[in-house]
Amino acid sequence: MPETQIAPMTTADHIARLRPYVPGKPIEEVQRELGLTDVIKLASNENPLGPSPHALTALLQVASGIALYPEGSAPALRRAVAEAQQMPEETLVFGNGSDEVLHLLAQTYLQPGDEIIQGDPSFTMYGIYALQMNAVAVKVPLKNYTHDLEAMADAVTEKTRIIFIANPNNPTGTLVRRAEVEKFLDRVPAHVLVVLDEAYDEYVSDPDKPDLRPYILEGRNIMVLHTFSKAFGLAGLRVGYGITRPEIAEVLNRVRSPFNVNVPAQAAAAAAIADTDHVARTVELNAHGRNYFNAEFEKMGLAYVPSEGNFVLVDVGRDSREVFEALQHKGVIVRAAHGMGLPNHIRVSTGTMPQNERFIAALREVLR
Ligand SMILES: *Cc1c(COP(=O)(O)O)cnc(C)c1O
């Protein structure tokens, strides 16, 4: 018998330090764990109306073609997005969710010891991808729940490579406005890439929201990120994209895996972006949901952060993990913001009106 050779693998130090992303709990998991049947999820900012019917039709049409690899450059989707965004096709880079585009940015531009700057709290994946590259995530506290762009510009060093701004921010729902962002861009050195993550752009009602497309056309180091996971209702298919200088898009295209956006995802996303009626219905439902939540929180005496997204952050006045658990036992999944430095806040996505009412009724009981 040859001697068996068993030895533990040594994980790289910077990977050993990583903590996994905590997603919203899936409905099925809560059903299994708690023996509940009727469970609703208002935890991941998904679209309660589901996908556009046109997207579903497009998906079914290509279903029989999935024995073949997709076209890596996603030409039909590229045309549809270029038209919707009024930007040249070569400014676009597609990902398996906008998450993958964030990952590509980290892989492409971050070396060990480099720095990224992000708000705190903000979308946690910015920091996770930076740590995966052994880079440093510099976290600048929000001011009044909003990105403090002055402080973020002050935090730039020679090692800064990328600044991430989620606009509206997740988990707070706050927006930084056009004039503020333009002033910020004047202060950021030209070699630093500024990423404006507009995952919730469709929901924004503020007319002063920034539009960085002209800056991209001028050749500035900027990326605007979009996703099909939120207002377009395609979270399960995984598609997102960045709009950026063609030179940056070209480099990222070399880094991405060749077939990163799959056949049904390309087809459904191209149909979804053309269905402006479905987005309008989605935005209208969300506006009702936000107003309803705000009014109910006021009646309950709870402080909330007015949101430009499809979720609201609310101070429940006690450990949010307990409230999260208690709501879950009533079949309502929300997100506890405890791990994001907001120990007494929960983040709740807007759902259908019956779902919204069920959440409010459950919250009243839990806090009684
Ligand atoms: C949901 C979300 C994303 C990720 O979306 P995917 O396209 O599903 O990967 C990116 N940024 C922010 C701020 C988000 O909330």
Residue 26 to residue 45: CA distance in whole angstroms: 13
- Portion of the chain with pLDDT greater than 90, in percent: 92
Decide if pLDDT at 2 tops 90: no
Which of 264, 186, 193, 253 lies closest to 224, judged by CA?
Answer: 193
Q: Examine residue 329 and state whether it is found in any structural domain, yes or no.
A: yes
Centroid of ligand 1 to alpha carbon of 155 (angstroms) = 24
The pLDDT tens digits for 108-121 are 999 999 999 999 99
- Range 173-191 average pLDDT: 97
Residues 6+ apart with CB under 8 A from 121: 142, 171, 172, 337, 340, 341, 342
When comparing pLDDT for 214 and 35, which is higher?
Answer: 214
Residue 354 to residue 332: CA distance in whole angstroms: 12
Residue 3 confidence (pLDDT) = 72
The protein residue whose alpha carbon is closest to atom 14 in ligand 1 is 199
Lowest mean pLDDT among 17-26, 89-98, 128-137, 344-353: 17-26
Q: What's the CATH code of the domain at 269?
A: 3.40.640.10
Which range marks the domain in which residue 353 is found? 13-41+277-367
Same domain (yes/no): 293, 271:
no
Centroid of ligand 1 to alpha carbon of 94 (angstroms) = 13
Ligand 1 pocket test: which of 230, 261, 311, 313 has the largest number of ligand atoms within 8 Å of its C-beta?
230
Q: Examine residue 6 and state whether it is found in any structural domain, yes or no.
A: no
Residue 306 confidence (pLDDT) = 98
The pLDDT tens digits for 274-285 are 999 999 999 999
Decide if pLDDT at 319 tops 90: yes
Q: What's the CATH code of the domain at 282?
A: 3.90.1150.10
Band the pLDDT of 1: cuts 50, 70, 90: low
Same domain (yes/no): 268, 300:
no
The pLDDT tens digits for 321-334 are 999 999 999 999 99
DSSP 8-state assignment for residue 139? E
Same domain (yes/no): 18, 103:
no
Considering 275, 308, 339, which residue would you say is the last residue of a domain? 275
Residue 5 confidence (pLDDT) = 82
**CA dihedral sign of residues 176, 178, 180, 181:** positive
Centroid of ligand 1 to alpha carbon of 199 (angstroms) = 6
pTM attached to this predicted model = 0.96
For 349, the enclosing helix (H) or strand (E) is: strand 345-349
When comparing pLDDT for 3 and 264, which is higher?
Answer: 264
Which of 102, 115, 92, 96 lies closest to 216, judged by CA?
Answer: 92
Which of 313, 293, 309 lies closest to 357, judged by CA?
Answer: 293
Residue 316 to residue 302: CA distance in whole angstroms: 6
The pLDDT tens digits for 192-205 are 999 999 999 999 99
